Structure 1
Amino acid sequence: MESSHTPPFVRALYDAAQSGGHQVLKVIDSSGNDSWFRVNRGRVIEICHKASNDDAMLELLVRSSLMKGTVAETLKRKSLNKGKPIDELVVDSKIVSRSTMQQIKDSLNIEAVLEVSLDFDASVSEITDDALGGQVGSSCSLAIPHLLKEAMRRAGELPEIKQFIPADDMVFSKAHHHTGRNPKWEDLNLGHLERQVYFYVDGFRTVAEVANITCQPMHVVHRALVSLIKSRHIVHENGKAGSKTTQGSQGLLRAMSMLTVIVILVGLALSLIGSNSAAWSKSASEATLFNPFRALENKAADDRVAGAIRLYQLMFGERPENLNDLLTEDLVAPADAKHSAFFTSDGAYRFYDLEETSDLDEQHD
C-alpha cells in the first residue's frame, strides 16, 4: 500500500488513531484554505474549519428556513456586543433546541472532516497548542473509524458523481419535456428523496439551488440526481443525459484514482477495527451521526409537507383529506409527516394559512 495514493489527511487520521495520543493537525487544502483538527485517543474532538464555523451554521439555518437572514445578522451583532457564542444565542432565542444545535454542529463538523479527507492535494502538519494563538474551534467527539468508513462511501460515489455532474451550476430538466411523453406521477418508480428532488428539477434551477430548496446536503442531492439521470427521468438542459460524453479520459483517470482510495480506506478502517475493537463498538452506536443534517430535516418537515400538499392539489385538484393521502402517493416521507405540524396526532389535515409557519422568524426580526 503506497502512501502516495492515500489522501494526506486520511493518513494523518489513521496514524493519530493508531498512536492513541493527543495531536493538533493543521491542514492547508488544495484551494489554500487552512484549518486545524484536534485529535485525542482516536477521536476528533475539536475542529476549526470554514465549513463548520458560526457563519456556516447560520447560513445552514437560513437555508433551511429555520430563521431569516435578518435574524442571523442580528444574532451576529448581539454575539459581538455581549461576548456570547452565537450558538447559545440561537438556542436562547428558541430557534432550535440545545440538542438540535449540537446535532447541527456535529453534522457540520463531520462534513468538514470529510471534505479535507478526500483532498489529495492538501498538506498536513502537526502543530502545538501555542501555534493556535488561543484560537478556539468547534467541540465534537467523532470516532476516526467511523469517519474513515464514511469517507470510503463518499469516495465510492465520487467517480460517478463527477462523471454525470461535474459542476453544481448545471441545470437539468425532466426528460418528458424533451420527449413529449408526460408520465403520470403515480407511475414514477422513485423513492421519496428522488421524488422530492425530481419535483424541483424544472430546467431552470441549478444543482446548488435544488439542494437549497430541498434542505438537503449537496452529496445527498448528487446521489439522487445521478439515480434520476441513469433511470432517464431527467436530462441535462441541452437534452443530453448529464455530461457523460464530456468527461473522456480525465473522468476515467479520476475514477481509477478514487477506486484506489476506496481500497486504501477499507484497509485503514479494517485495521483500526481490528486493533481497537472496543473503540469501534462504541463508535458503531454513533451511526446516526452519519445522516447529515438529520436535525434540520426534522425541523424543515413543515416546508416539505407544504410542498407535498401543493403538489397533491396540482395532481388531483383538491386538498388531501389526511396523512395517508400524501403517504399513498409517496409525496412525503413518513418521518417528515410524523414531525410535521400540518397534521394532528390522528392524521387529520389542519387547514390554516401556510404563512403561519413564519411566525417564529418574525419574532426574531
Structure 2
Amino acid sequence: MESSHTPPFVRALYDAAQSGGHQVLKVIDSSGNDSWFRVNRGRVIEICHKASNDDAMLELLVRSSLMKGTVAETLKRKSLNKGKPIDELVVDSKIVSKSTMQQIKDSLNIEAVLEVSLDFDASVSEITDDALGGQVGSSCSLAIPHLLKEAMRRAGELPEIKQFIPADDMVFSKAHHHTGRNPKWEDLNLGHLERQVYFYVDGFRTVAEVANITCQPMHVVHRALVSLIKSRHIVHENGKAGSKTTQGRQGLLRAMSMLTVIVILVGLALSLIGSNSAAWSKSASEATLFNPFRALENKAADDRVAGAIRLYQLMFGERPENLNDLLTEDLVAPADAKHSAFFTSDGAYRFYDLEETSDLDEQHD
C-alpha cells in the first residue's frame, strides 16, 4: 500500500480504526479550513466541521422546505437569548421529530467526513482534548469501515464528474435549445431524479443553484448531470456537451490518482470489515445511515409531491387526478408516492387530500 496515493484523512482513519483506541484528529483542508474529529474504538463519535454545524443544519432544513428562512433566523436569536441548542429548539417547534433531527445530524456528519476523506491536500494531526479549549462538536456514531466504503464509491465517480463538471458555477442548458428540436416531455427516457434535475436546467442556473432548488446533495446532482450530459440531453452553455478541454495536466493527474485511491479504499474497507471485532458486524446493520439526507427526503415527501402537482399543471394545464398521473410522467419517486397516498382496492395510488398538498408551503410561517 503506497500512502502517497492515499488521502491523509483516509490514512488517519484507517490507523485509528486499527489501533481501536481514542484519538482526536485535527484536519486543515486544502482551503485552509480547520475541523476536528473524535475517534473511539473504530468509530467517529464527535465532529466539529463547517458542513455539520448548526448553520449547515438550518440551511438544509430551509432547502428541504421544512422551514422558512425567517424561522431559521428566529431560532438563532432564541438560541442566543435562551442559551439552548438550536437542534432542541427545532424539535420543540415540531418542525421535525427528535429521531429525525438525529438522522439529519448524522447525514451532515457523514458528508463532513467524506469531504475531508477525499481531500488529497489536507493535513492531519493528532491533538489532545486540552487543545480544543472546551469546544464541543456534533455527537455521532459512524463506523469507519462504512465511511471508507462510501468514500470508495464517491472516489470512483469523481474522475468522470471532474471531467464533465470541473466547477459548480458552470451553467448548462437543454440540448434542444441549440438544436431546435423540442422533444415531448413524455418521450424523455429519464429516471425521476434525472428528470427533476433536467427540468431545472435552464441555461441560467449554476450547478450549485440546481442542487439548492432540487434539495439534493451536490454529489447526487453531479451524478444526474453527468448522465444527462452523456445522453446528450443537456449541454454546457457554450453549446458543447461536457467540458473535456477545461482540465489541465494537473486535473488529469488528479483523476488518475483517484483511480488509484479506489483500489486502496477497497483494501482498507475490506480489511476493516473483515476484522474479527464484533463491533463491525453490528455496524453492518446500519447501511441505511449511509444514504445521505434520507431522513430529510422522507420528511419532505409531501412538499415534493406538491411541487410535482404544480409542475404537472404547468405542463398539461390541469391538476392531476391522482398520484398515478404524477408517477406516469415520472414527476415523483414511488417512495414519495407511498408516503403521500393510500391504496384503493385495485392497488392504485390516490391522494389523501389533493388540496392539502398544495398548501404545504404555507406551513411554518
Mapped partners of 2:208, 2:187: distance in 1: 27
Mapped partners of 1:314, 1:161: distance in 2: 32
Asked if 2 retains the 8 angstrom alpha-carbon contact of 1:35 and 1:50, the reply is yes
Mapped partners of 1:361, 1:183: distance in 2: 31
The change in CA–CA distance for 1:361 and 1:337 in structure 2 (over 3 A counts) is closer
The change in CA–CA distance for 1:273 and 1:348 in structure 2 (over 3 A counts) is closer
The change in CA–CA distance for 1:327 and 1:360 in structure 2 (over 3 A counts) is closer
Deviation (angstroms), 1:273: 1.8
* 1:90-144 Cα shifts (integer Å, max 9, x gaps): 0000011111101100000000000110111111111111111111110000000
Secondary structure of 2:153 counterpart = helix
* 1:256-313 Cα shifts (integer Å, max 9, x gaps): 1100111111111111122246333222211111111111112222332223223323
Asked if 2 retains the 8 angstrom alpha-carbon contact of 1:305 and 1:342, the reply is no
The change in CA–CA distance for 1:343 and 1:57 in structure 2 (over 3 A counts) is farther
Asked if 2 retains the 8 angstrom alpha-carbon contact of 1:75 and 1:89, the reply is yes
Deviation (angstroms), 1:185: 1.6
The change in CA–CA distance for 1:105 and 1:289 in structure 2 (over 3 A counts) is same
Asked if 1 retains the 8 angstrom alpha-carbon contact of 2:166 and 2:246, the reply is no
Q: Does 1:225 align with 2:202?
A: no
Mapped partners of 1:332, 1:274: distance in 2: 39
* 1:33-53 Cα shifts (integer Å, max 9, x gaps): 111111011000000111101
Asked if 2 retains the 8 angstrom alpha-carbon contact of 1:93 and 1:364, the reply is no
Asked if 2 retains the 8 angstrom alpha-carbon contact of 1:215 and 1:300, the reply is no
Deviation (angstroms), 1:349: 9.1
The change in CA–CA distance for 1:99 and 1:345 in structure 2 (over 3 A counts) is farther
Deviation (angstroms), 1:250: 3.4
Deviation (angstroms), 1:321: 0.9
Asked if 1 retains the 8 angstrom alpha-carbon contact of 2:309 and 2:358, the reply is no
The change in CA–CA distance for 1:360 and 1:79 in structure 2 (over 3 A counts) is farther
The change in CA–CA distance for 1:62 and 1:343 in structure 2 (over 3 A counts) is farther
1:3 corresponds in structure 2 to 3
Question: Which sits farther off after the overlay, 76-85 or 11-20?
Answer: 76-85
Mapped partners of 2:108, 2:347: distance in 1: 33
The change in CA–CA distance for 1:315 and 1:364 in structure 2 (over 3 A counts) is closer
Mapped partners of 2:358, 2:51: distance in 1: 27
The change in CA–CA distance for 1:351 and 1:283 in structure 2 (over 3 A counts) is closer
Asked if 2 retains the 8 angstrom alpha-carbon contact of 1:79 and 1:89, the reply is yes
Question: Which sits farther off after the overlay, 298-307 or 341-350?
Answer: 341-350
Deviation (angstroms), 1:190: 1.0
Asked if 1 retains the 8 angstrom alpha-carbon contact of 2:196 and 2:331, the reply is yes
Asked if 2 retains the 8 angstrom alpha-carbon contact of 1:313 and 1:320, the reply is yes
Question: Which sits farther off after the overlay, 60-69 or 105-114?
Answer: 60-69
The two structures have a TM-score, normalised by structure 2, of 0.93
Question: Which sits farther off after the overlay, 338-347 or 109-118?
Answer: 338-347
The change in CA–CA distance for 1:237 and 1:199 in structure 2 (over 3 A counts) is same
Asked if 1 retains the 8 angstrom alpha-carbon contact of 2:27 and 2:124, the reply is yes
Asked if 1 retains the 8 angstrom alpha-carbon contact of 2:174 and 2:203, the reply is yes
Secondary structure of 2:26 counterpart = strand
The change in CA–CA distance for 1:341 and 1:144 in structure 2 (over 3 A counts) is same
Asked if 1 retains the 8 angstrom alpha-carbon contact of 2:24 and 2:37, the reply is yes
Deviation (angstroms), 1:356: 6.4
Mapped partners of 1:88, 1:189: distance in 2: 44
State the percentage of identical aligned residues: 99
1:83 corresponds in structure 2 to 83
Deviation (angstroms), 1:352: 11
* 1:29-86 Cα shifts (integer Å, max 9, x gaps): 1111111111011000000111101111011111211111111111111111111110
Question: Which sits farther off after the overlay, 195-204 or 302-311?
Answer: 302-311
The change in CA–CA distance for 1:3 and 1:94 in structure 2 (over 3 A counts) is same
Asked if 2 retains the 8 angstrom alpha-carbon contact of 1:321 and 1:348, the reply is no
Asked if 2 retains the 8 angstrom alpha-carbon contact of 1:38 and 1:46, the reply is yes
The change in CA–CA distance for 1:264 and 1:142 in structure 2 (over 3 A counts) is same
The change in CA–CA distance for 1:196 and 1:250 in structure 2 (over 3 A counts) is same
Question: Which sits farther off after the overlay, 178-187 or 260-269?
Answer: 178-187
Asked if 2 retains the 8 angstrom alpha-carbon contact of 1:164 and 1:242, the reply is yes
Gaps of at least 5 residues in structure 2 are none
Mapped partners of 1:198, 1:360: distance in 2: 24
The change in CA–CA distance for 1:285 and 1:351 in structure 2 (over 3 A counts) is closer
* 1:140-189 Cα shifts (integer Å, max 9, x gaps): 00000000000001111111111101111111111111111111222211
Deviation (angstroms), 1:247: 1.9
Question: Which sits farther off after the overlay, 250-259 or 149-158?
Answer: 250-259
Asked if 2 retains the 8 angstrom alpha-carbon contact of 1:21 and 1:42, the reply is yes
Deviation (angstroms), 1:329: 2.0
Question: Which sits farther off after the overlay, 193-202 or 323-332?
Answer: 323-332
Asked if 1 retains the 8 angstrom alpha-carbon contact of 2:323 and 2:351, the reply is no
Deviation (angstroms), 1:351: 9.2
Question: Which sits farther off after the overlay, 182-191 or 50-59?
Answer: 182-191
Question: Which sits farther off after the overlay, 202-211 or 341-350?
Answer: 341-350
List 4+ stretches of structure 1 deviating above 6 A. 341-363
1:167 corresponds in structure 2 to 167
